[in-house]
Chain A
Amino acid sequence: MFRYLKDKYLPGTVLLVFLTMGMFSCELVKEVDAEFNYSTKRILVNGLLTKEKGVVVYVRSTVAPDSMGAPDYVYNPLVTLYQNGEPIEVLSESASLPGCYTSTASTVIDYNSNYAVGVEATGFEAVISENIHAVKPMKFFQSKVTMIDSIKRELYISTYFENTPDPDYFSLRIHRYVNGENQLFNPDYEGVYEAYSDEMYEDTISFTRKIDILRDSLGLVSYDSLVVELITISESYYRYLTSLSYYDESHLDPFNEYIIPVYSNIENGVGFFVSFSKTFHRVE
């Protein structure tokens, strides 16, 4: 009897046990030993260009990937501002903010010029940014609040751009004021948008976005007013901000065959030199 069972069922049973053990013993994610191929430190530049405030540049260095938080101060860098390819000013370090270099009040930013920053420092390869122009502010076209019922309101915002080069990009945020206090409203639609050109939309200069405000997101608290913050940003700023979200998703996505690094327009270095312009619009 035993021999019969052994002959008839043993191979199948062994196979079944083997498969079951295999299926349940295998983790698809596991910790492994590995080491980074660490490259040399590079200069990190985070620079902003605005018509109103001139140039602000933070200069630091990259660190080893497994040493986040390690010191990244760059000693005595030479930070130069270029206009149309010509150096116009050596930026000075802010007394209150170490590593922050700003242009002087006498430096007038011209909408029609291109600007770049270059940084040299001992122990680092010299870096220079991409040439960018100062972007112009965005103007509002229309806004209205429609009361649908007691629990739902709809806010329509239409905007248009004036004399800004193509392509244009903008960021949009809603600030909610309750009892005079600013509460940054953070609905799904907050983010960075690309304003499509007239190839896609027939209304050539305006970009219209409808925003629904529901009870779930506002709560039952009434608010004093809404302030819509619109930030016009340069293409490089748009690329940087969108690449941040792509990077967040790509470097942990097993289906992605390549990493999308965070955008940089700093030659030989890391970081960005970008422009923006901010406007506010109050909706009562």
Chain B
Amino acid sequence: MRYIFLWFFLYLFLHGNGQLITINGFVRDTEGEVLAMATVWDSISGIGTITNNEGYYQLKLNPSTVVLKCRFIGYDNYRQQLTVNSNTTFTIVMQQVSIATGEVCVKSKRPIHEQTLMGVTTLDVNTIKNVPSFLGQADVLKAVSILPGITGGRDGYSSMMVRGGDRGQNLILLDGVKLYNTNHFGGFVSSINTATVQHVDVYKGGFPARYGGRLSSVLDVKTRNGNRNKAQGEFTLGLINSSLSFDGPLGKRFSFLVAVRASYLDLVLQPLKYQERKKRWGQMVDYRFYDLNAKITFFQSANSNWSLQWFNGRDIYSAYTFDKRTSYHFDETRFGIAQNNSVVMLKNSSVLKPSLFLNSKVSYSGYSNVFKEWEKSTYTVKSYFERSYSSIINEFNIQSNLDYYAERNWVKTGISFSNYQFIPGLTQITDINDNAGDSVSVIKGLEYEDHTFETNVYVEDEIQLTPKSKLNIGGRGVMYVSDSSSYFRFEPRLSFRTLLGKNFSFKANYTFMNQFNHVIVNNVSGVEREIWLASTGEIPPQSASQFSMGFFGEIANAGIDFSLEGYHKKMKNVLEFRFPPGDFVNYNDFGSMVIKGGEGEAYGAEFQTRYENDRLSSSFSYVLSWNYRQFDQLNNGEKYPYLYDKRHEVNFLNLIKLNKRTSLSTNFIFSTGTPVTLPDGAVNEGPLNYTYFTYHSLNNYRLPNYHRLDIAINRKWMTRKQNESTFTFNVFNAYARQNPVFMYYNGGKFYQRSFFSILPTFSYSLKF
């Protein structure tokens, strides 16, 4: 099978080049920002393309007059007539939708039926900001979760479960570099600062060969460069955190962007702490997070630029009790969690020839978390005891990606090397007791470390087979080597599209994915700690094959488009974890908690229709899906509905422009209740046991249906100094629905538990 793919690809790759001229260049906005995934086409010949990740395009046309058009979400349509008789480089400058027109939109400007790939959605930053959100904070992951086929997990959490996958199966890329943790605030706030985002591409299926390493989705976040023309900034005041971003030119050839976001929950808690301090004993809680994005771009020439980027996010949480009531008595016990998330990248993008575009990166991405508990006493005897569990993953990556534009082909190829360091469980114990100088011990142990290497090579080609048909064909080879094992996997990818008439199309695709790095989540009373594990001899790589097909169409005059997709996904070697609740685990216990060798199956249909006019932008989606897991060790070996299996899911998003300054957003969600496990038997108290419930079948009961309405009102105005101000008032769960997240049986009665009732919040932002 793989040889057929290769031969077919080679045939198409070598397919002829006629005597055509080339129009190439970048698509930028007025600030000099490149626009990836913008559609560029000649409206006379109908030949078109989309820009690559660096905003570069190339068209092969017959020498003549062309009408070059371009469109991109969040920007006015572009049109320019040109007469071209030879190869021409032409930069397209797009105008951002202004505050005066105040357009809101949920539709990509690119006709949905024309794209070759399916299961792909582009969200621009304005759309993300307009979606009603939890805690009033625009949040990329929560905005993405309104897309059909994506489940956001429990109320308030920034999780992502895509087409039956789990939260560790998503490839989150920050400008092409893997981000290993996307959460602040125990999962309620995502670590992607919206102030830096230009747009987000979300892939649920039909993954092109350039993406790999996760089973279920790709979230490709593109951050913006600094403005090349003028210095500007934005300040956002939110309920639990605020952000400040500043960007602008540095001379003629540099630009910069700096964005900082920080929480101030610890400041809010200060009065409570003051009271406790006054009492000289009590309990205290501290929580704070921040993240920092910094980017410097060097525009070496019209065809080459460099950027150096740094992202760092940090969370610190601690809770402690203390007692200072007497002069000779001081006792303090404390536990805390800290996590650190970093990305550093140096990138170069160059147009080598009009038909060759090279993009190279060297990057580091790392994530670590530490749980620490300690006790300090000066009560007669000074003593100190400390125990900490750490989990660390570090990745060093170097990659090169080459785009080659032929007459009817757009070939993308690349190679990538990664060196991973995994320290999933590092336990350190310090026990100091200065009683007569004895009992001083520091134990550093249980260090388990894996070093793995991964090499990826991919080739993909987008081919115009006929005027109506396009094919995206590709393959990805992965070599993953650890101390105890090595794996080689070949992943074929195939996407096909054919137009049915002018406004409709049929698409089909097949993808095969592997995942070599696995994440397990240790949730302790709502505070989550992620632990990354490598594929070794003990834990084989997970794999998934997905087939999907669908009909897509547009009723252009009515401003309506629609899509109907069906998919079937099978997963192998998936993992389950059974962590003890209310406790942080160390690696010593993993063996009994990791359940291996599972299979997963998910299938369903997703329908979405979108409508747009000058005042209203709407999106309605309905999903019918099934999602199962099967493990020999669980549920008596029988398959069971997986955690977020929802038979029906409806999402109805409206973005309404009330007037030039004010817009109203509403989002209604309905879904079948998720499965939960209730007891199916009980054990009476006996000579050797207490009474307890037994659970032989997993997820044997469904919670009541979930529904919720979120509302946001955005009001924009210009200040006296002509700065744009926006006030957003958000109401999460507007009609105070008690959506259960959990159900239990106690004292002969059933109870349900909800996380959030109605939650009004606000935010204010000022651009300067």
Contacts and interface: CB of A to CB of B under 8 A. Distances in A.
A135 to B, nearest CB: 17
B679 A36 contact: yes
Residue among A36, A258, A261 with the most chain B CB within 10 A? A258
Interface string A250-279: 111111111111100000001100000000
Nearest to A255: B526
B445 A199 contact: yes
A271 B695 CA distance: 12
Contacts of A32: 704, 740, 743, 750-752
B427 interface: yes
B692 A262 contact: yes
A63 B684 contact: yes
Contacts of A29: 751-754
B582 A253 contact: yes
Interface in B726-750: 731, 734-736, 738, 740-746, 748-750
Interface stretch (A41-49, A74-82, A176-184): A41-49
B637 to A, nearest CB: 12
Contacts of A46: 686-689
Nearest to B433: A210
Interface stretch (A104-112, A116-124, A219-227, A238-246): A238-246
Interface string A34-59: 10111101101010100000000010
A142 interface: no
A246 B758 contact: no
Nearest to B643: A257
Residue among A34, A149, A257, A270 with the most chain B CB within 10 A? A257
Contacts of B700: 37
Interface string B673-686: 00001111111101
A46 B690 CA distance: 11
A270 to B, nearest CB: 5
Contacts of B421: none
Nearest to B383: A212
B525 A253 contact: yes
B90 interface: no
A34 B683 contact: no
Nearest to B687: A58
B697 A39 contact: yes
Contacts of A42: 681, 694, 696
Nearest to B593: A260
Interface in B658-708: 677-684, 686-698, 700-701, 704
A44 B700 CA distance: 22
B48 interface: no
B43 to A, nearest CB: 47
B682 A68 contact: yes
Contact of A252 (B435, B680, B746): B746
Interface string B460-494: 00000000000000000000000000000000000
A66 B684 CA distance: 11
Contact of A65 (B381, B682, B688, B760): B682
A33 B698 CA distance: 20
A254 B757 CA distance: 15
Contacts of A247: 692
A242 B583 CA distance: 12
Interface residues of B, number: 68
A38 B680 contact: yes
B690 A244 contact: yes
Given A249-B581, A253-B581, A258-B578, A270 B681 contact: yes
Residue among B694, B698, B701, B754 with the most chain A CB within 10 A? B694
A280 B688 CA distance: 21
A72 B681 CA distance: 12
Nearest to A46: B688
Contact of B678 (A36, A146, A201): A36
Nearest to B756: A28
Interface stretch (A1-9, A19-27, A83-91): A19-27
Contacts of A63: 681-684
A128 to B, nearest CB: 15
A154 B643 CA distance: 49
A193 interface: no
B446 interface: yes
A118 to B, nearest CB: 18
Interface residues of A, number: 69
Given A23-B757, A261-B695, A41 B681 contact: yes
A129 to B, nearest CB: 14
Contacts of A253: 525, 581-582
B434 to A, nearest CB: 12
A152 interface: yes
Contacts of B427: 200
B755 interface: yes
Contacts of A201: 443, 445
Given A19-B758, A251-B744, A261-B694, A25 B736 contact: yes
Contacts of B734: 22
A163 interface: no
A25 B757 CA distance: 9
A200 B448 CA distance: 11
Contacts of A69: 684
Nearest to A44: B683
B136 to A, nearest CB: 14
Contacts of A27: 738
Given A37-B678, A44-B683, A252-B744, A30 B736 contact: no
A201 B695 CA distance: 37
B580 A196 contact: no
B62 to A, nearest CB: 59
B380 interface: yes
Contact of B381 (A26, A60, A148, A256): A148
Interface in A91-148: 97, 100, 146, 148
B581 A262 contact: no
A60 B684 contact: yes
A247 to B, nearest CB: 6
A260 B588 contact: no
A66 B693 CA distance: 10
A65 B751 contact: no
Contacts of A260: 578, 580-581
A210 B439 CA distance: 10
Contact of A64 (B681, B735, B736, B752): B681
A62 B694 CA distance: 8
B399 interface: no
A31 interface: yes
Residue among B683, B693, B696, B752 with the most chain A CB within 10 A? B683
A22 B734 CA distance: 8
Residue among A28, A199, A239, A255 with the most chain B CB within 10 A? A255
Contacts of A39: 680-681, 696-697
A270 B682 CA distance: 10
Given A149-B380, A201-B443, A259-B677, A33 B750 contact: yes
A148 B758 contact: no
Interface in A145-163: 146, 148-149, 152, 154
A196 B682 contact: no
A31 B754 CA distance: 12
Given A37-B700, A146-B435, 5 more contacts: A22-B736, A28-B757, A29-B754, A39-B681, A44-B686
Interface of B: 380-381, 427, 435, 439, 443, 445-446, 523-526, 578, 580-583, 588, 592, 643, 677-684, 686-698, 700-701, 704, 731, 734-736, 738, 740-746, 748-758, 760
8 contacts: A30-B751, A32-B704, A42-B681, A58-B688, A200-B427, A200-B446, A246-B580, A260-B578
Pick the 8 closest A-B CB pairs, nearest first.
A26-B757, A22-B758, A254-B742, A22-B736, A62-B681, A39-B680, A250-B581, A34-B750
Interface of A: 19, 22-23, 25-34, 36-39, 41-42, 44, 46, 48, 58, 60, 62-70, 72, 97, 100, 146, 148-149, 152, 154, 194, 196, 199-201, 210, 239, 242, 244-247, 249-262, 270-271
